[in-house]
Amino acid sequence: MAHLLDSAAHCGFAKRTLMQATPTSPPWLPWAVGLSAASFAVLGACLTLPGTLLPLLVERFEIRLVEAGSMLVLQPVGYLVTVIGAQYLIERWGMRVVLSAGPLAFALGYGGFGLASGWMSGAAMMLITGLGFGVAEVALNTLLINIGGERRSNLLNFTHLFFGVGSFVAPPLVAHAVAAGASWRSCFAVAALAMAAVGIGWSRLHVDHVTVPAAAPGGGGRAARSRLGYLLAALLGVYVGVEMGLGGWLTKYMVSERRVSLTYAGNVLSLYWMGLAAGRLALSALSHRFGETALLLGLTLVSALALPAAVLAPAAWMAVLGFAVTGLGFSGVFPVVIALGGRHHPHDTAGITSVMITGAGLGGIVVPWAMSAIADAAGLRAGMIFYALMGASMVALAEVVRRTIDATGEMQ
């Protein structure tokens, strides 16, 4: 398995190596890894779409910043709802049904958003996309933790790097397409078709034979009650709130505060996500050489320094560099936190994954909406400073996680 994941980090050999992992490796294993990577790539591309087009959506829907924030926040609300129930859905319906239903629900929501006539109908469609996103993410990460074994961190970084790839490829393509005359509605239609294709792909893959370890006897809900579980959930909440919040508001900030064109702002957003993808590419091969807690502390420190530097930079090009480095710092936070949860709760991986991603969902609701309210009252620059302060708090949370693990021993 170690050979499998070391080689999987080098994309060209992933499928061949997975096939040779062990004599008993199921034939669908390389397909599951490949389709997981494709799922994250499409998710990354689709999730950047509202943020890339936000300046245009604000204008076309004739809405205030807090209304735009309220529309966008319905996606993480739906995400949170299905994250909470994802473990039950996996146990009740099986991995394959959940992995196919999530992307198809997302596709339905984006297809509807492309037809929306105002921000309230758009918000309803965002809620539907969130429902699909949440259940798909829990299922994907649970699947990867359980097929990854001791190298789960490598596998998570490898597949999650494609989220970054999709995220940095989509914004410039969308911005240039709109600048060339394409309708913003057609962009959402294309995204819906891509997501539907992913859902159909999972419906054809027989992954229900994956063994998801149940909680130990008498230990049901232990993951949800652990101090480490709460800390990891809180860390993911802040991380997701800031990471996705920046992804949603960066183009609007660059257009309104830095006075650049939508095309230029789309390129800035792309570089932000490219930093995230580049970091995950490196970590997919190297993360096992570092302690997970030390790696987490280092990554959060990089982002905590780079984000305020970007916001306070006197020139636009300096801000662009700062946002790219911020993405680099963010790169491994999510996979490392997920891997830590799986390592310290090996007998309840679905439970701890749901706990952590529930925290992510709460943060994705509270942090971006708070930012939109601050921006509406005091300006976008103040809102971005709020994100910088929240990013700095991740360093403190990472240090508390490290101390908790050191104090309680290797296993929780």
- Residue 12 falls inside a structural domain: no
Contact assessment for residue 174 and residue 187, using Cβ atoms and an 8 Å cutoff: yes
- Residue 389 falls inside a structural domain: yes
> Based on the structure, what is the number of domains in the chain?
1
Contact assessment for residue 177 and residue 187, using Cβ atoms and an 8 Å cutoff: yes
Q: How high is the pLDDT of residue 319?
A: 95
- Residue 15 falls inside a structural domain: no
pLDDT over threshold 70, residue 23: no
Q: How high is the pLDDT of residue 121?
A: 95
Contact assessment for residue 48 and residue 167, using Cβ atoms and an 8 Å cutoff: yes
Residue 81: give its domain's CATH number. Answer: 1.20.1250.20
> How many whole angstroms from its chain centre is CA 196?
19
pLDDT over threshold 70, residue 225: no
Range of the domain at 389: 30-208+224-408
- Residue 260 falls inside a structural domain: yes
Written as six digits, the tokens of 340 are: 């830590």
pTM score of the predicted model: 0.73
- Residue 172 falls inside a structural domain: yes
Contact assessment for residue 240 and residue 364, using Cβ atoms and an 8 Å cutoff: yes
Residue 242: strand, helix, or coil: helix
- Residue 14 falls inside a structural domain: no
Residue 89: strand, helix, or coil: helix
- Residue 370 falls inside a structural domain: yes
Confidence of residue 338 (pLDDT cuts 50, 70, 90): confident
User: 4-18, 53-67, 113-127, 215-229: which range is least confident on average?
Assistant: 4-18
d(CA 106, CA 132): 5
- Residue 72 falls inside a structural domain: yes
Written as six digits, the tokens of 342 are: 């799986």
- Choose between 9 and 38: higher pLDDT: 38
Please write the tens of the pLDDT for every residue from 28-52.
778 888 899 999 999 999 999 999 9
